[in-house]
Amino acid sequence: MELQLALDLVDIPQAKELVKEVEPYIDIVEIGTPVVINEGLRAVKEIKEAFPHLKVLADLKIMDAGGYEVMKASEAGADIITVLGVSDDSTIQGAVAEARKQNKKIMVDMINVKNIEERAKQVDTFGVDYICVHSGYDHQAAGKNSFEELSAIKRVVKNAKTAIAGGIKLETLPEVIQANPDLVIVGGGITGHADKPFAAAEMQKLVRQGS
């Protein structure tokens, strides 16, 4: 089981500072959608250059032109790129084909997918690398989480790794780990903690025990 730090509400210098603080405890650093919107793919490039030993995920949440977007994120140095599960099959398949050419990985974000089990089963046949259940900020504000969705996709996904994101905190991590995802994605649970290295180190401990 691996731990991914999601950076959403920062600029590039703040992102670098944050990664420096928790670097020994994380496996993947995510350049979140708001950061890409504000700073462009330059944020991916600068973080990959500053931390070449970490895997960098570009959270582009691709909805169209899968191949092209994956090509651009790959050129910027992303190791993993996200595509939305609600997008057309051809978009996901195009993203996977380009990722194979570039030796990169695709994560499908299942945010807002209605029939999650059925879609996870389909998407799993496209050769994607990760399938991620995700309660976005708007869902979190409505008190939702994706813990049950994780168990649902675990029942049907045979090839891809499974991941979970959305509002995970140190206190809720043990419940998440029980459902045995391959990857746990945490943003505010680390970046909003009073002691970020402590939170990340504790989370790493739990995640490693869960492996």
Ligand X SMILES: O=C(CO)[C@H](O)[C@H](O)COP(=O)(O)O
Residue with smaller CB distance to ligand X, 121 or 161? 161
Q: Is the dihedral of CA 192, 77, 204, 210 positive or negative?
A: positive
Does residue 116 bind ligand X (CB under 6 A)? no
Distances in whole angstroms, Cα of residue 137 to Cα of each of 126, 143, 169, 181 = 28, 10, 14, 21
By CB atoms closer than 10 A (0-12, 13-18, 19+), residue 187 is buried
92 makes contact with ligand X (CB under 6 A): no
User: Contacting ligand X (CB under 6 A), which of 25, 26, 58, 59?
Assistant: 59
Q: Which two tokens stand for residue 190?
A: 């680390």
The single-letter code of the amino acid at 127 is G
Q: How far is the CB of 58 from ligand X (least distance, A)?
A: 12
Identity of the residue, 121 or 192, whose beta carbon is nearer to ligand X in the bound complex: 192
Q: Which residues from 11-30 bind ligand X, rule CB under 6 A? A: 30
62 binds ligand X (CB under 6 A): no
39 lines the binding site for ligand X (CB under 6 A): no
Residue ranges in 156-185 that form contacts with ligand X under rule CB under 6 A:
165-168, 185
